[in-house]
Amino acid sequence: MTYSILILNGPNLNLLGTRQPEVYGSTTLANIEATCSAKAEQLGVSLTFAQSNHEGELVDMIHAARGQHAGVILNAGAYTHTSIALMDAISSTMIPVVELHLSNIHAREEFRKISYIARVAVGQICGFGAAGYPLAMEALVSHLEATK
């Protein structure tokens, strides 16, 4: 069985590799996409990779994922900590979501410890930098296999 996976990146992640390398690493989002494409081939899944700075657009992309993709890997950026709309989009579509962060959000400011996504996600991977993306792909595929 081959799965289609959506990797969705939220606000400011298009700036990766340009600032704050001590927190987010020096890899660009284009580099991450290339790594994920190679991982997708290895896992035998098809991959769509997207980024938006707009909350409503991210909600639309989660709605559209239903029926198109088997699951989503979501780095919602700062919307992680604020967006009931994204949380509701995930629970209303019932699509499996793996929450992903480059940084360890639990070891940072108090406000970053709150995740609305975690309440509706299958699980969370954080703190491994760009290496978290292929890890999240493995986790999602293994979840899909276990629940098919």
The site string for ligand CA2 over 30-69 (x = CB under 6 A, - otherwise) reads: ----------------------------------------
Q: Which of 19, 54, 63, 113 is in the footprint of ligand CA2 by CB under 6 A?
A: 19
Q: How far is the CB of 95 from ligand CA2 (least distance, A)?
A: 19
Its sign, for the CA torsion 91, 95, 96, 102, is negative
| Residue 101: active-site member | yes
Do the Cβ atoms of 67 and 93 come closer than 8 Å? no
For residue 17 the two structure tokens come to 């590799």
- Tokens 């595929």 belong to residue: 141
Q: Applying CB under 6 A, which part among 40-48, 63-71, 75-83, 85-93 lies near ligand CA2?
A: 75-83
Q: How far is the CB of 79 from ligand CA2 (least distance, A)?
A: 8
Report if residue 93 touches ligand CA2, rule: CB under 6 A. Answer: no
Q: Which of 6, 62, 65, 105 is in the footprint of ligand CA2 by CB under 6 A?
A: 105
Report if residue 5 touches ligand CA2, rule: CB under 6 A. Answer: no
| Residue 106: active-site member | no
**Residues catalogued as catalytic:** 24, 101
Which chain residues interact with ligand CA2 by CB under 6 A? 12-13, 15-16, 18-20, 24, 75, 77-78, 80, 101-103, 105, 112
